[in-house]
Structure 1
Amino acid sequence: MSLKERIIAESQRLGIDKIGFASAEPFTHLEASLKEQKAKGHTSGFEHPVIEERIYPERTFENPQTIIAIALAYPTKIKEKVPRDEKRGMFARASWGIDYHDVLRDRLDKLIDFIKRQAESMEEGAEWRFAPQVDTGELVDVAAAQRAGLGFIGRNGLLITEEFGSFVYLGEIVTNIAFAPDEEVPFGCGECTRCITACPTKALLGDGRMNAQRCLSYQTQTKGMMPEAYRKKMHNVIYGCDICQLVCPYNRGKDAHFHEEMEPEVESVYPKLKPMLSMSNKAFKAQFGHLSGSWRGKKPLQRNAIIALANVGDRSALPEIWRCATEDVRPVIRATAYWAIGQLGVKEPEVWVSRLQECQLLDLEEEAQNELGPAIDRLQAVIDKQGNNTNE
């Protein structure tokens, strides 16, 4: 067996679902697009900041020859039944199970260890070097995976594989070992535009790129105020968004349960919303710390939980939301709570208008001021409408 064949066999033994080999030539075809996206403000800010290092592997790795790309398939359905005891939020499927960064790094490190063991019996092996990357590395993961033949980049900007659709995590190893490259998979979307049509914020540009600032996944990960235009579109998904995946024909029926670490727990990925509002740091870490969706910390998820409670119309949460509005010291949480009260307080508008008007006497931060007035106006409009109906 050749070294490449031995690596492929070992990858299967390690539970790597797809592997491919690509040239480490520069990704010059990405340069104009990446620069345009940045100039237009369409990037999320989570990407590697230096465009040249995303395009030219040699900028961060001496004498790169090959990119070994891997994919791990993740589940799309939960094995346990989700209780209907009270209103729950949801994490998008890509954040289920143990943080995929850790799982991918484990597989990449084990694969590198295997190649290093092979090097011991080969004269040139002493010169071999490796640089694993996962998600936050320099290279564009989907571009590397596409070049390595793992799949094609769909109109939603995600890698679509034949076996698992787009429900895969991607990682790669840059190495100075020269391997024969695998063939790329041709574009397979045809005339289909279902993902573009389904995107609730029209974030997809139609050519595999997106305005990341408009993507709900990005919006759920920000730490400041979520613009009002996105709040109701969240529904009860408090982290991420996978709508563009769920409507994709290539994803129909795809549900891989190959990796125990990726199996979701109900209370982690479908959490009760109300308890999240008063959750301690210790409790947050215990319930969510293993998820990739916890990487931004507690505040964004608590903000999103308040929005989700308003979206699902859970008026039983008003006492907890009022506590956030009056006792929480974080301006974003207080301001979001004011907005939610304006949404949920419509059954008792006089009560909530009175309470919110008392808050106007406080020395409030700008975020809170911006939400408090509109919340009062919304509830006052309900009162006025009820009065008009009575007069009629």
Structure 2
Amino acid sequence: MNEELKQEIIAYSKTIGIDKIGFASADPFLTLKERLREQQRLGYASGFEESDIDLRTEPERLLPYAKSIIAIALSYPSKLKNPPKGVKGKRRGLFCRASWGADYHHVLNDRLQKLQEFIESKVPDAKTASMVDTGALSDRAVAERAGIGFSGKNCMIITPEYGSYVYLGEMITTIPFEPDTPIEEGCGTCNKCVESCPTGALIQGGQLDAQKCIAFLTQKKDFIPKQYRKKIGNRLYGCDTCQVVCPINKGKGEEYQPEFEPDPEKVKPELLPLLSLSNRQFKEKYGEMAGSWRGKKPIQRNAILALGHFKEESASETLRQLLTDDARPVIRGTAAWALGEIGGDDNELAMQQALQKEEDEDVIKEIEEALT
């Protein structure tokens, strides 16, 4: 009976916009548990994850009597059509591909909800628990076990059909299903992602120091360590380097769900206008994107870093105003750093004047270092 139901679920999934589906046992993820403990011991965790390792690796703690996990994947785009070009005086930033189009949390939750309703119509007493990204389970570990793809050296699930340009979600269920076979292929001797990581966050194939990862750094709310500021470049949210250099990803990301169609002006926006957005304006323009979840401050801080990276002289007046008038220390201090990168007598004078009035110790340090 369950094999017939499994095939019905697979067929139904194709009608509701699920690109790939797989089935796995709900047994504990014992190998992952040891890896996560090692990550914590080394200080490599980002802090965004569920801190309870048992919850992350034992599905039955999340759903009593769990027997199976259904993993799903939705493909997202890898290329912008007619991307706007940044030029001197109108520099642009960039949101990573995983933030293009509608927030994937909402899209995957919609698919999982429809899948749950279908399953309950077939097995009314079945119990399920779904999650996407922010849930306790490791999406990648579930997807790997369910045969969605293999775990690449870039710490992403790489599928034969869509490369690593996929969003992942899963549903734990009390229904026992025959598990699918994991994909055995891997990266082989290729090490391009490890060698190309701008900050050396990929310690080795399959191991990531999240504290160095640009995708994590761009989401921090406080100051970004100085050694990483220039490496961030014009990234406003996330980083795609380890995906772009992957040979398997070549030609992938051309088929995707319509919700993920990107608006070029949103995902590659002009930097200066970002700095004057109110909370309401930011939410209205960017609120539907996954990259907006931390609010406008990290995005604005990253835009300031990008202007400093470009040494964009036309931004000086705006940055000087932020340095003296903005209520947020992180914005004032980052503006000082950018003004130091741009240079010029007017900017130096503005920093000297700001230094006389500044009371925040971190900002004072930023201004002093920018002046030297």
Scaled by the length of structure 2, what TM-score is found?
0.97
Alignment of 1:142-161 (within 5 A): 142-161=140-159
Are the equivalent residues in 1 in contact too, given 2:150–2:185 (CA < 8 A)? yes
Gaps of 5+ in 1: 120-125, 378-392
1:365 and 2:363 matched? no
- 1:313 offset after TM fit, Å? 2.2
Q: Distance in 2 between matches of 1:69 and 1:333?
A: 41
Larger Rg: 1
Q: Distance in 2 between matches of 1:332 and 1:363?
A: 13
1:376 and 2:353 matched? no
Alignment of 1:72-221 (within 5 A): 72-84=74-86, 86-119=90-123, 126-221=124-219
Q: Distance in 1 between matches of 2:319 and 2:355?
A: 17
**What amino acid maps onto 1:376 in structure 2?**
L
* Other-structure match for 2:326: 328
* Other-structure match for 1:47: 49
* Other-structure match for 2:11: 9
Of 351, 359, 366, 1:356 maps to: 351
Q: Distance in 1 between matches of 2:321 and 2:4?
A: 65
1:298 and 2:300 matched? no
- 1:299 offset after TM fit, Å? 0.5
Partner SS for 2:23? strand
Partner SS for 2:357? coil
Q: Runs of at least 4 residues of structure 1 off by over 6 A?
A: none
**What amino acid maps onto 2:110 in structure 1?**
D
Q: Distance in 1 between matches of 2:237 and 2:161?
A: 26
* Other-structure match for 1:337: 335
Q: Distance in 1 between matches of 2:76 and 2:275?
A: 29
Are the equivalent residues in 2 in contact too, given 1:154–1:187 (CA < 8 A)? no
Partner SS for 2:22? strand
Q: Deviations over 1:22-77 (max 9, x none)?
A: 01100001121101111221100110111001111111210110000000000011
**What amino acid maps onto 1:222 in structure 2?**
K
Gaps of 5+ in 2: none
Change (3 A) 1:168 1:328: same
| Length, aligned pairs only | 368
- 1:80 offset after TM fit, Å? 3.5
Are the equivalent residues in 2 in contact too, given 1:69–1:144 (CA < 8 A)? yes
**What amino acid maps onto 1:26 in structure 2?**
P
* Other-structure match for 2:316: 318
Are the equivalent residues in 1 in contact too, given 2:86–2:270 (CA < 8 A)? no
Are the equivalent residues in 1 in contact too, given 2:358–2:364 (CA < 8 A)? no
Partner SS for 1:302? helix
